[in-house]
Amino acid sequence: MAKTGQMVSQQDAIELDIDPGTVCFLIAKGRAFDAKVAPAERDEISQPGEDDMHDVLEDHGDDPVADEIRHVIDDLNDEQQAELVALIWVGRGDFERSEWESAIAAANERHTGPSSDYIMGMPLFGDLLEEGFTALGHSCEDVGNPV
């Protein structure tokens, strides 16, 4: 199991093929995507404008956040997509920091379909991605993109 919360100095960071700014973008967008809930039925007595406040957190199937995430992931090359999956696995505790190369190899071996579908199907993938990113010695604050 990965030791979450354990700080690794940036000096000891494992170099990534994927741009750290892209990872931070996906962390932020992943959290916004994970916050979505199924649309609720509306009360007939809701106040004017009240429904609009709830709509932003509801998943209506044509979610621009989901489209953005999918587009970014699909534009990555195969190695970068494997790193993204491996980062999530490290964040989830499937692999340790010391097993980084094995995590990437497993992601490449197990790849069977669109990485975006696999990643977006994981609950809390934004949080898991950040856990893995941090475990490898990176921080979105260092990238200038705090999440």
pLDDT at 140 over 70: yes
* Residue 80 belongs to domain spanning: 24-37+49-141
List beta partners, residue 37.
58
CA distance 95 to 76: 22
First to last CA, the chain: 24
Tokens 């809701």 correspond to: 46
Total domains, the chain = 1
Would you say residue 9 lies in a domain? no
Would you say residue 83 lies in a domain? yes
The pLDDT of residue 54 is 46
DSSP letter for each residue of 50-85: HHHHHHTTB--S--HHHHHHHHHHHHS-HHHHHHHH
120, 129 Cβ separation under 8 angstroms: no
- pLDDT one-digit tens code per residue, 30-83: 998 887 555 555 555 555 555 554 454 444 456 788 999 999 999 999 999 999
Would you say residue 61 lies in a domain? yes
The pLDDT of residue 45 is 54
- pLDDT one-digit tens code per residue, 102-115: 999 999 999 888 99
Q: Which of 36, 17, 30 is nearest to 91 (CA)?
A: 30
Would you say residue 120 lies in a domain? yes
The pLDDT of residue 27 is 96
Tokens 């199937």 correspond to: 61
Tokens 């990643």 correspond to: 119
List beta partners, residue 58.
37
The pLDDT of residue 94 is 97
Instruction: Give the type of residue at 110.
Output: R
32, 67 Cβ separation under 8 angstroms: no
Would you say residue 67 lies in a domain? yes
Q: Give the residue, 6 or 65, on which the prediction is more confident.
A: 65
The pLDDT of residue 33 is 85
The pLDDT of residue 46 is 53
What is the signed CA dihedral for 85, 35, 27, 82, rounded to 10 degrees?
Answer: 10
Q: pTM to 2 decimals?
A: 0.75
Would you say residue 7 lies in a domain? no
- pLDDT one-digit tens code per residue, 14-24: 999 999 999 99
CA distance 67 to 73: 10
The pLDDT of residue 3 is 44
